Each structure stands twice: as structure tokens, then as C-alpha cells.
A and B are shown apart, each in its own frame.
Chain A
Amino acid sequence: MSLLQANAHSPERGAAAPTDVGQTRPTTFPFAEAKYFLPLLVVPLLWEIGVRSAIINANLFPPPSAIGAALIDLARAGMLWRDASASILRVLVGFSIATLAGVGLGLLLGRLSLLARYVLPLIEVIRPISVIAWIPIAILWFGLGDRPAWFLIALGAFFPIFTNTYDGARSLADVYVRVARCFGAPRALFIRQVLLPATVPHILTGMRIGLGTGWTCVIAAELVSATSGLGYMIQLARTTIETEKVLAGMLVIGLIGFAMNSLMLLIERRLTVRQGLPD
């Protein structure tokens, strides 16, 4: 049984066969044309029609027009910006911690297979514990506020970043290791000019997936352990039964997550192409 399933966190990569030098093709940017956004207009439109013709219960499913109005209200009151930036800031902190730890440990274990054999079982037992299951202990350890959120985000983002980096470092072509040995390359040079560049496409894929995971984690953390952020906002709106505000918050969560993923895809593409990989 393999302890770490390849591509466990990146179903997209499974489709493109990795080449012999351990490179992956950059994921295609799927939002290049405006027409692909059409369903994003059609579905709310049908929803609106459904509510207005009384097929859909407006109390449980406030129509898009009401959600839009709630969104404008929230933006005008300044709450939207405050909560969104609080969530984004938390993700950036947690994600940075996860990147440092995931890339560092992934490179280390990817090259030291003996150490990996001892450490991987530990990681693989911790990994299936959902971030939600960590919330109680995070509150006990860190109290309320930013710190439990940072911890939970870092935890959630760590695994995809680690797994992809580890896979990338492990699949470094043997011949490159031989070249480095042959020329007596010092370890720092090997890491800088061989290991890191060869692994960067994997690291970027891991970071993109990790950022997405981190974004879902911040909302989960804020639902229970924070007094600001988009997760806190929708929870608060729930207690006052402002359903359209709950949905407006969810919409913002989705849009920010989408923007983050798109940004990471762009970075991934830019960096991978600039490396002068085989075309």
C-alpha cells in the first residue's frame, strides 16, 4: 500500500501524464472566454423567475435580486470590506506558514527516503482528521480570534502543499542527481539549481490547492472561533434570520475563492512557461 497516493490532492494533474523529467504541464486556464460564464447568469435568472412565480419559497431561497440588495447594504455599511479583509488576512498568514512547512518538509522527505519512511505514517494518520475536527482543540489551545484560525488554515493548507512538493521532489529524474554528483555540486547549489526548479511546478500546484483549502478552513474557523470575518458574518446573519445576508456572504466567499484560484493558476502558468520547459 502506498502511503502517499500521488495526486491525492490534485485530480486535474492525473489527466496529464507527467513527463520523464518530473515536470507537469501547467494546468490550462479554463476561464479564458466570456461565454463560459454564461451559466453564472442563467442559473440566478431561473432562480429569480422561480421565486417571482412562487415556485420557490422566497424565505428559504431569497431571490438573487434580494441577495444583491443585501450585498449592497453590507458594502455600504462597511462590514463587507472589514469581514472580507479579515478573512483574507487570516488566510495569508496561515497559508504562508503552511507553504514554508509544506515545501520544506516535502523537499526534505522527498530526497531522504529513509527519513520519509519513518515520518510518512505519522503524517498519513494526521491527514484524514478533518480541519473541523481540529476546531475544539484549536480553541482550547489558542482561545478565540486570529490564532486558532491561523492554526486551522495552516493545517488545512499544509497537506496539499506537502504532498505535491514531496511527490515532485521524489520524482526528480535520477539522471539529474547523477549530473550533480558527477560535477560535485555542493548541496546548496543542488537545491537551488536542480531540486527547486524541478519541483516548482509541483509546489505551485500544491500551493494553489492549499490556498483553496485554506480559504474553506478560514470560514469554518470563523463560524465558531472568531468575532470577525466572512464566516462570522454569515453566522451572525443566521442568528438574526437574515437569509439574504447569509447567501450574500456565501456568494462573496465563492467569488474570493474563485479569484484566488484564478490568480494562482496565472502565476503557475507564468512561472512554468518562463522556466524554459520543453514546448
Chain B
Amino acid sequence: MFALQSICKHFEKRGGKPFPALQEVNLEIGAGEFLSIIGPSGCGKTTLLNLIAGFIEPTSGRVLKKGAEIVGPGPDRTMMFQDYALFPWLTVADNIAFGLGAQRLSASERDARVRHFISLVGLDGFEKAYPSQLSGGMRQRVSIARALAPDPDVVLMDEPFAALDSLTRDRLQEELLAIWSRAQKTFVLITHNVEEAVFLSDRVVVMGSRPGRIHSVIDVAIPRPRAPEIRVRDPLFLDIKHEVLDLLGRVTPAVERH
């Protein structure tokens, strides 16, 4: 589905020499895959996501979708933003309909699509609610529904759970997983939480920093559906989790370890 080939991305530092955010990154993302990207701060994981989204262009190398180079952002690659970035002045239904803005749909088609995704994420009855009236979990579901509505090839997620307490985080991960299996879409998630990455993903990409690069890619061969309790009980889960933790320990410079 997606292929990143020999990607290098340099950012101009103010008055200084270019700062290499990503160096020689190669990655393939399969259709329907749940892929997580994990790494220490400054490893370029957000840069990688922005490249796929089309917000930025690589300095060298190519980002391909189905063999064609990606030019600019588009509703075929939607994003679930940090803190959800819902419009506080739009209702749940209108926020989701905003995701369909680029498509020429009749009002009835659009309403039907919105209704479909509202039930997919289990928000029936909240069509007319405003984001401020929803819990954090419900806002996340609106954000996913908005991202899924244009029928994208991939949904990109930039640390959606970063600001949450661990209980909420666990619950929202389970919800996300359920929605992913219902939606049958490719999901790419950025996180700095190992358990989250392993629990959700088919593969975990471990990145290193200075310069940002892919260190290793771990297959998570845990059967689905995955029950919440595998996070504490399943020996295979714990093995993979420790493997990723170990890799992260190796790629993280000593000063950044806590």
C-alpha cells in the first residue's frame, strides 16, 4: 500500500547547518495493517507521519502510495490529531461531515455516511452534541469517525493517548482496536508507549535518534482478537514487550533514560 524509499529529511536550523531529522528510511506498510512507530524524542517519528500525510516533502527519497508518489495532503490519508482537534463549534455530526468536505456528495448521501460512522464508533444519540459535552473517550471516537468517513487508505495517529491517565488509556486502546477491526483500514500509530504499540499492532517499528532512522521492525504474532488482559498475562505479549523495551533502551541516548 505505502512504500517509503530511501527517505532523508533535513530541516534548516535557524542560522545553522541543516539538521537531519530522518536518514535513509525504508519502510513498507501493507493494506489493512496496524503499524506502530515508537522511538525516543527527536527520532523523527512525527516527521515520518507528516511525510505520509503529505504535510511535508522528503529532502531526498520517495513516498509512494500504490506505486505513485504522494503530493500534498489529501483525504485518502487522514489523520487523528493530538488532542483530537475537533471543532468545538460544530456538532458531532458536523465534525464527522467535515471529513467528507472534499467529496461531492448529495446531502442525503452525506447524512447516510455520517450516520454509518456514528454507529460504527458507537455514538448513536450524540449526533447533535458538541465536543465540549463529550468525555475524552467519546471525543476520540468522533475523531476516528471523522478520519474514517472519507474512506481513506490509511488513518494516521499522532500520539492520540499521550495526555491520558493509564486507565483511560487502556480503555481507549481497546476501543481503538475494536474500531480498527470493524473498519478494516490501515492504521499507523505514533506512540512512546511500548505496551500500547505491542497491544495494538501487527508490527512495531523501533526508531533511533540523531539522526532519526529505523532501528528495527518487530512482528507481533499475537492472534486477534486480543483480549485486554493479555497485556499482563500473555507470555508472548510480555516477551515482545520486553524485546521492544530492550531495543528502545539501546537506541535511547543515556541522558534521556528515566
Contacts and interface: CB of A to CB of B under 8 A. Distances in A.
B87 A185 contact: no
Interface residues of B, number: 29
Nearest to B83: A175
B75 A193 contact: no
Contacts of A179: 79, 81, 85, 87, 98
Contacts of A21: 88
A145 B90 CA distance: 45
A183 B150 contact: yes
B101 A182 contact: no
Given A193-B94, A279-B132, A186 B102 contact: yes
B55 A178 contact: yes
Contacts of B40: none
Given A183-B150, A184-B75, A184-B101, A276 B55 contact: no
Interface string B159-173: 000000000000000
Q: State the majority secondary structure of interface residues on B.
A: loop
Interface in B46-91: 53, 55, 73-75, 77-79, 81-83, 85, 87-91
14 contacts: A21-B88, A178-B81, A181-B55, A181-B73, A183-B98, A183-B99, A183-B146, A184-B101, A185-B98, A193-B87, A193-B94, A198-B89, A277-B89, A279-B132
Interface in A62-96: none
B164 to A, nearest CB: 18
A276 B89 contact: yes
Interface of B: 53, 55, 73-75, 77-79, 81-83, 85, 87-91, 94, 98-102, 130-133, 146, 150
A182 B73 contact: yes
Contacts of A23: 88
Contact of B85 (A175, A189, A198, A279): A175
Contacts of B53: 182
A130 interface: no
Query: For B75, B82, B89, B102, which residue has the most chain A Cβ atoms within 10 angstroms?
Result: B89
Contacts of A175: 81-83, 85
Interface of A: 21, 23, 175-176, 178-179, 181-186, 189, 193-194, 197-198, 275-279
Contacts of A198: 89
A276 B74 contact: no
Contact of A186 (B79, B89, B99, B101): B101
Residue in B73, B90, B101 with the greatest tally of chain A CB atoms within 10 Å: B101
Contacts of A176: 85, 87
Q: List 9 tightest A-B contacts by C-beta distance, closest first.
A: A276-B130, A184-B102, A197-B89, A185-B101, A275-B89, A189-B101, A184-B75, A175-B85, A278-B132
Given A183-B99, A184-B73, A276 B81 contact: no
A181 B75 CA distance: 9
A194 B150 CA distance: 18
B101 to A, nearest CB: 4
Contacts of B90: 193, 197
B55 A194 contact: no
